[in-house]
Structure 1
Amino acid sequence: MHDHNSGIFRGSAGGEEVTPVHNPVASVDALLDAHAPLLPTSVRGPLRRAAGLTQRQVADKLGVQPLSVKRWESGAVEPRAGLKRTAYSRLLQGLAQRHPEVIISRQS
């Protein structure tokens, strides 16, 4: 049985043998996720606040320390490539869709 989402082939002969199979879609997704674009630092904190979220809440969901979120918002550091960066990027994009006024006010 082949799981298209994970790229894993599971043997069906009564065993639990798992053999990796190349999944080009998953490989491309991994490349894109590694370089997830982030919104400018000028809108990161305002978007979070517009959604009524604290740095601690964001940190807890991303599996990082609140200080990391504070540094990401200030631009002192950027999240490293990987799942946490991808998740943070998705959070920012989702917040921007829900609170476009934050983006608009920062452009004027």
Structure 2
Amino acid sequence: MASEEELFASVDALLNEEPQLPPPAERARLREAAGITQARLAAALKTTTQSVKNWENGRSEPKSPRLDA
């Protein structure tokens, strides 16, 4: 059985990895579950609604600093 220290080290390692986005359809599902429109998300990220649509249908991927946000 793993010790508490080993478990914390494993979680820390995960948090230090590059951010990984869920698949496009899951991105939309998560946004909708939070009750956020594409327009509101676009405004918060200072981008266009079309960019959010593209991220959610797999046509493009967000880049830093939006990816980090």
Distance in 2 between residues matched to 1:42 and 1:68, nearest whole Å: 15
The offset of 1:79, in angstroms, is 1.0
Alignment-mate amino acid for residue 43 of structure 2: D
2:64 matched to 1:86?
A: no
Instruction: Name 1:36's counterpart in structure 2.
Output: 19
Cα deviations by residue, 1:46-102 (Å, 9 ceiling, x for unpaired) = 11111111000000001100100000000110112x111111xxxxxxxxxxxxxxx
Give secondary structure in 1 for the equivalent of 2:68: helix
Instruction: Name 1:72's counterpart in structure 2.
Output: 55
State the identity %: 39
Distance in 1 between residues matched to 2:32 and 2:49, nearest whole Å: 14
Unmatched 5+ residue regions in structure 1?
1-31, 88-108
The offset of 1:36, in angstroms, is 2.4
Which ranges of 4 or more aligned residues in structure 1 deviate by more than 4 Å?
none
Instruction: Name 1:54's counterpart in structure 2.
Output: 37
Distance in 1 between residues matched to 2:66 and 2:24, nearest whole Å: 17
| Number of equivalences | 54
Distance in 2 between residues matched to 1:44 and 1:73, nearest whole Å: 6
Alignment-mate amino acid for residue 86 of structure 1: D
Q: TM-score, normalised by structure 1?
A: 0.46
RMSD between superposed Cα atoms in Å: 1.7
Larger fraction in strand: 1
